[in-house]
Structure 1
Amino acid sequence: MSTRATTLPGPRGPRAPVALMALTATLLGSRALRAPRWTKKHLERTNYHGRTVSLRGGVGVALGTLTAPSCAGAVLHDAARPRTALPAVAGVVAASAGGLAGLVDDLDAGAHDDDAPAKGLRGHLGALREGRVTTGALKIAVIGAGAVVAGGLLAAGRRPEEGARGARAAVGGAAWAVDAATSAVVIASWANVHNLLDLRPGRALKAAALLSVPLVVAPGPRAAACRALATGALATSVAALPEDLGEDTMLGDTGSNALGALVGTALAAHPAVGLRTVAALVGTGLVLASEKVSFSGVIARTPLLNALDTLGRRAR
């Protein structure tokens, strides 16, 4: 049997070590910030129930989303095929951008929004046109840039198999550009969607878990990176869920953007072009719909969604 055949990730892939590392990093990251005085001063917030919760949960989730793709890269890397590690690098880039931009927004806590806080995509872009740079606008720029880089890395990792050679090089280059752009939209939109969902305890984490489960079992050797990244997102969500549902912690922008970016990268790493395209359209559609529609209102009016949303949540 050739070396190449033995080094390709098997059907199970690196899911066990990725899950373990992501879960451990998430728990340790959150609990390490439980005692310091700095945590109470900068990370405590009042939630919709009027309870005091800590953003340390979001910091833990951000650490989990960085650890998972880092571990996946080490396991997926094949010396004979260096590009096999590119999806993991994309995951690190996307999660870093989401977590960093979210942390700036969380620590700022609206201090630079003046008397009229900007809300939503339209609000932050409108403020930018007026010459006001909000932390929300900064998030759009940083997460967008991270998504573009990550999308390019994912497309480059697929190019040997999907790209063209010889007389078809120009077509191959165009296909790479479309692939990179689609992947970037998937990552940026789902990072935003998870942030929009983080209005109630456990909601964004449940969404991440539900999206990750089918990706964890995606079939075929070409889906190894997708499985690994989704496993990291799932393990991170599971680790953070108890304290989030108990209203001891919350994700904030730090955790929701980082987790959403990792979920988006897992979606964008899927080998099926059709699935990536649908993910881009659905993610973008949800972001645009949020400008007009309240997700909380829709969930409350839909029995199945409401039951899932309130499952495990602390009683008032």
Structure 2
Amino acid sequence: MAAHAVILALFSALVLPLVLQRPMLSFCSQILAKKRMTRPNYRGEPVLTAGGLVLVASMAVTILVQLLLLALAGAPREVLVQGLLLACGMAAMACWGWIDDKAGDRITKGFRGHFGALLRERRVTSGMGKLIGGGLTAVSVSLFVSAGFWPWLVACGLLAISPNILNLFDLRPARAIKVFWLLVSLAAIGSVSGGTTGEPSAVWLFLLPVLVATVLFFPHDAGGRIMLGDTGANALGFAIGYTYATATPLSWQAAFLCGFVALQVAAEFVSFSQVIEQKAWLKRLDEWGR
């Protein structure tokens, strides 16, 4: 792959989100306001939700430009496929999250709540629809990122559960973004220390505009002006799962899948917000930027 193409792709990843941020935020905020996508935050104040639409729109435009530049430079097919899968997967997960945001069901929560509504009331909640759609997306994408049954199973599990993990933390301003940054940092450590085959660097090339977009969106989320919503948390969660599945060794993938499952089970019985409130250092970190 030509060096100039990589440099242009990196330049696009850094500059395009900066250029797109203001118009995307204004345009998406108008759409959300017209559709009355307003939800009470943890203080009971009305705030626009589904703000992740801004991140997904910025990501889609930037990655498409990157793919075009790399394709014109004759980049390997595997590299282009990685970028396309990341963009399509994030967009699909955002769509499932958008449906849940639009439905506005805040009564039925957790796996127990959604499965309970299905079994007891024969009612398919918007959250259950999101779980089914997200699961199908995970199965589809995992077929392209892993070889062999066990690697596929682990990758599928990561892609399916990681969006919900970000959702678990999207209960306070900017908390989900901070968790996203933490998990990306851990993925980078795993990629460097464990080593992978193929083109893991391509994942980081396409993940960079997502990181830049979250940095730009952070003040708006932390300031309580707009929420990520399921739209944004699902998309960022998928990006986490995809990064682990494509840029870290299988041992790291399995370890984080077990960790994510443990968090999901714990969330059914424990309030993460209460845990954070009880730990001074976690509380300070949680409140940083607000």
Whether the 8 Å contact between 1:212 and 1:231 is mirrored in structure 2 is no
- Show the counterpart of 2:213: 236
Distance 2:161 2:289 in 1: 27
Distance 2:85 2:141 in 1: 4
Q: What's the C-alpha RMSD, in Å, of the aligned pairs?
A: 2.8
> Which segment drifts farther, 100-109 or 265-274?
265-274
- Show the counterpart of 1:84: 79
Q: Closer, same or farther in 2 for the Cα pair 1:178/1:70, shift >3 Å?
A: farther
Q: Closer, same or farther in 2 for the Cα pair 1:49/1:103, shift >3 Å?
A: same
**Offset of residue 137 of structure 1:** 0.5
- Describe the superposition over 1:148-182 as per-residue Cα deviations: whole angstroms up to 9, x where unpaired: 11111112xxxxxxxxxxxxxxxxxxx52222221
Q: Closer, same or farther in 2 for the Cα pair 1:288/1:39, shift >3 Å?
A: same
Distance 2:270 2:289 in 1: 26
Distance 1:91 1:128 in 2: 31
- Describe the superposition over 1:116-148 as per-residue Cα deviations: whole angstroms up to 9, x where unpaired: x32101211222223111100000011111111
2:251 is the alignment partner of 1:274: yes
Secondary structure (helix, strand or coil) at the match of 1:45 reads: strand
Secondary structure (helix, strand or coil) at the match of 2:148 reads: helix
2:280 is the alignment partner of 1:308: no
Whether the 8 Å contact between 1:51 and 1:247 is mirrored in structure 2 is no
Whether the 8 Å contact between 1:229 and 1:266 is mirrored in structure 2 is no
Alignment TM-score, normalising by the size of structure 2: 0.85
**Offset of residue 209 of structure 1:** 1.8
Number of residue equivalences: 283
Distance 1:190 1:248 in 2: 25
- Show the counterpart of 1:125: 115
- Describe the superposition over 1:247-305 as per-residue Cα deviations: whole angstroms up to 9, x where unpaired: 11001111111111112211211142222222222222211211111111111122222
Distance 2:185 2:59 in 1: 16
Which residue identity does 2:16 align to in structure 1? M
Q: Closer, same or farther in 2 for the Cα pair 1:263/1:236, shift >3 Å?
A: farther
Whether the 8 Å contact between 2:62 and 2:209 is mirrored in structure 1 is yes
- Show the counterpart of 1:100: 95
Which residue identity does 1:189 align to in structure 2? I
Equivalent position to 2:177, from 200, 205, 218? 205
**Offset of residue 187 of structure 1:** 1.7
Q: Closer, same or farther in 2 for the Cα pair 1:150/1:308, shift >3 Å?
A: same
Q: Closer, same or farther in 2 for the Cα pair 1:57/1:92, shift >3 Å?
A: same
Distance 1:68 1:208 in 2: 19
Secondary structure (helix, strand or coil) at the match of 1:278 reads: helix
Runs of 5+ unmatched residues, structure 1: 156-174
Distance 1:72 1:279 in 2: 29
Whether the 8 Å contact between 2:56 and 2:232 is mirrored in structure 1 is yes
2:245 is the alignment partner of 1:255: no
Distance 1:269 1:75 in 2: 22
Q: Closer, same or farther in 2 for the Cα pair 1:14/1:264, shift >3 Å?
A: farther
Structure whose alpha-carbon radius of gyration is higher? 1
2:147 is the alignment partner of 1:153: no
Whether the 8 Å contact between 2:55 and 2:213 is mirrored in structure 1 is yes
